[in-house]
Amino acid sequence: MATATLTIDLTALTNNWRALDAMTDCETAAVVKADGYGLGADRVARALANAGARTFFVAATEEAAALRQALGPGPTINIFSGHMAGDTDMISDLHLTPMLNSIDQMLRHVESLPGHPFGIQLDSGMNRLGMEAGEWAALRELAEPQNPTLVMSHLACADEPDHGMNAFQLANFLEMTEDMSTPKSLSATGGILLGKDYHFDMTRPGVGLYGGQPFADAEPVAHVSIPVIQIRDVGPGEAVGYGNTWIAPKDSRIATVAAGYADGLIRAMGAKMQLFHGSTPCPVVGRISMDMIGVDVTHLGEDPKELDILTEDQTVDDLADAAGTIGYEILTSLSARYQRRYTT
């Protein structure tokens, strides 16, 4: 087999959900957008539902429709992007709940689906999605009597606990929801870690479920092993890979493994990234190409059949640091070419 294997540890996933749930006294939902952060929303959501999650969040109605097929009736499926034009039939037929972001969405929803559940998303300062204070003030008298299921906002800097934006947004959210009896939600993973003032009635962790920062105690969920296609001896002064960017300083044994930037292993991470044989690191040599990576295995004393790139020794955030990005991008970039394997 010449494709890498992505192993998803569903026990680690549910352990992470339970650990985050234990930090609060409110309901803990689960964010499974972007195909469960690249790990398969159907399998991920079913495992979380079996662990006790009853509310799920996705980005778009199309994702919500696929998730309803995976979960069946019962769990609440909330849509961050709200009620977009063309979504009405899916929202109605599949019992989905849009988080309405604007007056236009509010009017579309109440006119096309009177009595159908909806939530409200407020902009508490991030300037991304949600109703701003003036818009919400004009709409609140219309929205509240229709009993929204949830009123929510999103923190911009929750992964930086000392950032002043956190307290600023909390104050705005409190002011915008003053005297509302509707359940409230402000926090994803980072907000959970900020403490109880940010928890309200529901939290909605995302990346922390999948082993990513800022949840430092998360168990790793995703593991990637890559088969070795070929191993060759390279003499001093010989080059490896495009552009001759690596020149062998001595007699070396170089493995070519079957993955590259087409598999989400971003070219920029090569100089700072390693692969592993067990717990032994093996440096990348040369440029990461579309389908292949060169790896120095001289020191192993044996020819490996495969090497690991995503392990307990090198997490999604380690790979993200090497690429100058964030763990979210690494997870959601893991391509469909991987052979996926689920363990419990």
Dump pLDDT digits (tens) for 47-73.
999 999 999 999 999 999 999 999 999
Other CB atoms within 10 A of residue 147 CB: 11
- For 83-93, what is the mean pLDDT? 97
DSSP, res 146: G
Q: Show the tokens assigned to 173.
A: 């959210």
Peptide bond into 214 cis (omega under 30): yes
- For 127-145, what is the mean pLDDT? 92
The pTM assigned to this predicted structure is 0.95
Closest residue by Cα to residue 254 from 297, 211, 292, 309: 297
- For 173-189, what is the mean pLDDT? 97
Per annotation, catalytic residue among 210, 242, 261, 328: 242
Catalytic residue list contains 272: no
Does residue 321 carry a pLDDT above 70? yes
Does residue 142 carry a pLDDT above 90? no
From 27-36, 134-143, 155-164, the region with the lowest mean pLDDT: 134-143
In three-state secondary structure terms, 52 is: coil
Using CA atoms, how far apart are residues 206 and 189, in angstroms rounded to an integer?
A: 6
The answer to whether the CB of 132 falls within 8 A of the CB of 111 is no
Does residue 1 carry a pLDDT above 80? no
Q: Domains of the chain: which residue ranges?
A: 10-210, 222-343
- 10-210 to CATH, choices 3.40.1260.10, 3.20.20.10, 3.40.640.10, 3.40.50.720: 3.20.20.10
DSSP, res 219: P
Catalytic residue list contains 328: no
Per annotation, catalytic residue among 33, 37, 184, 198: 33
Does residue 202 carry a pLDDT above 80? yes
Domain 222-343 has CATH 3.40.50.720: no
Give the per-residue pLDDT at 140. Answer: 92
Using CA atoms, how far apart are residues 50 and 46, in angstroms rounded to an integer?
A: 6
